[in-house]
């Protein structure tokens, strides 16, 4: 018998940090597979792994760090080039390098004037050149992007081949090499709001728009043949797969459904579907945080799901012939690199982030719930009850509402040991997909347009009251990262329903955020709140309401964060102190937007559980 939040658990903070291995962006070629892998115990370094019939090999030795900073969120940072080696972006200077088969590393791009001022992502091979998106940071702070060609032999400077748009993604060459497809968009829009699909004729360098516009998000173009493409569009209200000619003719939906076949494009280089050797498509689809893996036949427009024990997939599938590789997970299985032989039905697990998961009795089983918010809006969430086979308890447990780091993100049912760390100690979790979250169609995402700090806050408060009114929870706290941290601060100021709040690199001051954040999101606030207006921003931002907060708070912040600078946390903590409300600010040197180092992850999680023990103490 032990109080909630103090149950003895076999899951330690160090166990959680070890799951930060983070497998991502696989590449399949025959029976060989490459992927990126984060190493928290190496200071957050990203290496490149290689699985062959002979076993597992680390391809990129320390201190090389394969991580791109394009858009600050990065994405796929390497390209396997048969006969040459592996091209990768090195994190400290952001140059492209070639790792040869003999283990030699040589630069492909020129040394920049300042480390990191030239960045590269979305690499793809065309002849003896690597084509990619280059992001240029001028000394005066201006940021521009272009599609460039980089010679593989490192003999010449980058050649600009497409300019004029603020952002580029999804580079794909036609099978005959005569055309390049790509998507692009301009400020103030984001790629889940508005993009265009363009085709460039390689001979002339001229391009034209095939599909897209101000109210349509186009993603993930891939070529069916030399004159036809597949793409994903949300013009119907849902991201569905379409087939279209290179001049915008004969557009047709392959499988129209009120389901999402893609996720918002925060990181570059992923592919949410793959074309198989027999012409069928391996696709990810579904409603909500989870997505199923299915096989779509474009000839008869049928979709059949594969019978697998995984219901959460990264939007980064790769295929060679009938071999399909992806990163998947489920409620009781951590992120795992899976290879499927669709011809034989054979399934192989190539790499696990959690080699030996805790006993299932210590793992929370998520329950999907719908909650009514203000004006009858229905919101979605997953409830993770506390559980521990060695503990006995009386009364209702405390709960923590977890607000994802969106705004267009989403919560899913994948095993997350940081949640099990809490639930096994007697704290329930409600994973909230507030209005604005992805996975439920464009109309659900658009609920947040102009309403950031209103809809998300109302949904968080309604969820807390539901937990209490339904006698599921005794007390409720709230926690969130990045945009979720904004919601935490705003919700604690708007209601006394919360026993405490934890903000992890959250936004508190809109005007300062607009002036200091990175280029990719520098105009996002205009969509989320409205054009710059001191009166509107002051009324909406949590910092202006800090004097209304009546519950203790914990703020966690990386000191090298270019997305949400440290000032966003320090000014809110100072306002809390002036208000006489307990507020603890813990900062981490060398950490950016997302804690990558094992020691940081351990300290942050242990500080969080100590905070909950204090506020939930009887």
3-state secondary structure at position 570: helix
Peptide bond into 188 cis (omega under 30): yes
Task: Measure the CA angle with vertex 325, ends 347 and 45; round to 5°.
Answer: 120
Give pLDDT, residue 53: 93
Q: How far apart are CA 197 and CA 185, in angstroms?
A: 9
Give pLDDT, residue 175: 97
For 498-528, give the DSSP string: -S-EEEES----HHHHHHHS-GGGTTHHHHH
Give pLDDT, residue 41: 86
> Phi and psi at residue 573, in whole multiples of 5°?
-60, -40
Give pLDDT, residue 406: 81
Helix ranges, 439-582 (H) = 442-445, 455-469, 483-494, 510-516, 524-528, 534-540, 567-579
Would you mind telling me the total number of residues written for the chain in this entry? Answer: 618
Give pLDDT, residue 618: 65
Q: How far apart are CA 435 and CA 378, in angstroms?
A: 9
Give mean pLDDT in consecutive 10-residue pieces for the chain, a chain of 618 residues. Answer: 89 88 94 95 93 95 96 96 96 96 93 93 96 97 97 90 97 97 97 98 96 96 97 97 93 96 96 97 96 96 94 96 96 94 94 90 95 94 95 92 93 94 97 97 96 97 98 97 96 97 95 89 94 94 94 96 92 94 95 90 96 91
- Asked if residues 453 and 506 have their Cβ atoms less than 8 Å apart, the reply is no
Question: What tokens were used for 30?
Answer: 């025959």
Give pLDDT, residue 3: 87
Q: How far apart are CA 42 and CA 17, in angstroms?
A: 12
- Per 3-state DSSP, the chain is made up of helix, strand and coil in percentages (nearest 5) of 20, 35, 45
User: Both ends of the chain: CA-CA distance in Å?
Assistant: 14
Question: What tokens were used for 182?
Answer: 């790509």
* Cβ neighbours of residue 141 closer than 8 Å, sequence gap 6 or more: none
- Asked if residues 217 and 193 have their Cβ atoms less than 8 Å apart, the reply is yes
């Amino acid at each position: 018998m032990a109080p909630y939040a103090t149950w003895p658990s076999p899951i330690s903070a160090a166990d959680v940090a070890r799951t930060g291995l983070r497998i991502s962006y696989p590449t399949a070629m025959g029976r060989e597979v490459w992927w990126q892998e984060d190493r928290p115990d190496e200071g957050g370094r990203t290496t490149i792994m290689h699985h062959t019939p002979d076993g597992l090999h680390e391809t990129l030795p320390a201190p090389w760090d394969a991580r791109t900073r394009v858009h600050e969120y990065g994405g796929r940072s390497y390209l396997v080039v048969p006969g040459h080696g592996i091209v990768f972006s090195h994190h400290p200077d952001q140059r492209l390098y070639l790792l040869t088969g003999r283990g030699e590393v040589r630069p492909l791009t020129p040394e920049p004037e300042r480390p990191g001022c030239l960045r590269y992502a979305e690499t793809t091979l065309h002849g003896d050149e690597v084509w990619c998106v280059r992001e240029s940071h001028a000394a005066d702070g201006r940021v521009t992007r272009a599609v460039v060609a980089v010679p593989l032999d490192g003999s010449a400077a980058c050649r600009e081949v497409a300019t004029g748009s603020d952002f580029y993604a999804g580079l794909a060459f036609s099978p005959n090499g005569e055309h390049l497809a790509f998507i692009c968009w301009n400020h103030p829009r984001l790629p889940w709001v508005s993009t265009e699909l363009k085709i460039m004729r390689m001979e002339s360098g001229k391009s034209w728009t095939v599909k897209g516009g101000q109210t349509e998000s186009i993603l993930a173009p891939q070529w069916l043949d030399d004159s036809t493409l597949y793409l994903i569009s949300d013009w119907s209200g849902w991201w569905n797969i379409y087939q279209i000619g290179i001049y915008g003719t004969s557009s047709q939906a392959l499988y129209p459904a009120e389901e999402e076949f893609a996720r918002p494009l925060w990181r570059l280089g992923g592919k949410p579907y793959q074309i198989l050797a027999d012409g069928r498509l391996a696709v990810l689809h579904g409603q909500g945080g989870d997505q199923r893996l299915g096989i779509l036949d474009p000839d008869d427009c049928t979709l059949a799901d594969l019978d697998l024990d995984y219901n959460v997939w990264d939007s980064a599938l790769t295929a060679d012939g009938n071999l399909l590789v992806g990163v998947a997970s489920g409620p009781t299985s951590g992120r795992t690199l899976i290879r499927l032989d669709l011809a034989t039905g054979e399934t192989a697990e190539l790499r696990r982030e959690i080699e030996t998961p805790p006993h299932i009795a210590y793992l929370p089983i998520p329950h999907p719930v719908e909650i009514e918010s203000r004006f009858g809006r229905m919101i979605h969430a997953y409830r993770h009850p506390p559980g521990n086979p060695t503990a006995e308890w009386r009364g209702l447990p405390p709960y923590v509402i977890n607000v994802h780091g969106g705004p267009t993100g989403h919560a899913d049912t994948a095993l997350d040991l940081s949640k099990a760390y809490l639930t096994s100690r007697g704290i329930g979790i409600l994973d909230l997909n507030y209005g604005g979250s992805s996975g439920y169609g464009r109309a659900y995402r658009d609920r947040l347009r102009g309403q950031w700090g209103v809809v998300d806050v109302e949904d968080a408060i309604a969820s807390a009251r539901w937990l209490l009114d339904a006698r599921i929870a005794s007390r409720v706290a709230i926690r969130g990262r990045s945009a979720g941290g904004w919601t935490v601060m705003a919700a604690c100021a708007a209601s006394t329903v919360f026993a405490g709040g934890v903000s992890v690199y959250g936004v508190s001051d809109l005007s300062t955020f607009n002036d200091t954040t990175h280029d990719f999101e520098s105009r996002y606030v205009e969509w989320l709140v409205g054009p710059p207006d001191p009166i509107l921003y002051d009324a909406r931002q949590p910092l202006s309401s800090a004097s209304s907060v009546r519950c203790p708070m914990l703020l966690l912040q990386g000191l090298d964060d270019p997305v949400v600078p440290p000032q966003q946390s320090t000014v809110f903590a100072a306002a809390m102190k002036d208000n006489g409300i307990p507020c603890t600010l813990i900062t981490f040197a060398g950490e950016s937007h997302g804690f990558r180092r094992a020691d940081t992850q351990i300290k942050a999680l242990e500080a969080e559980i100590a905070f909950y023990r204090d506020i939930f103490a009887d």
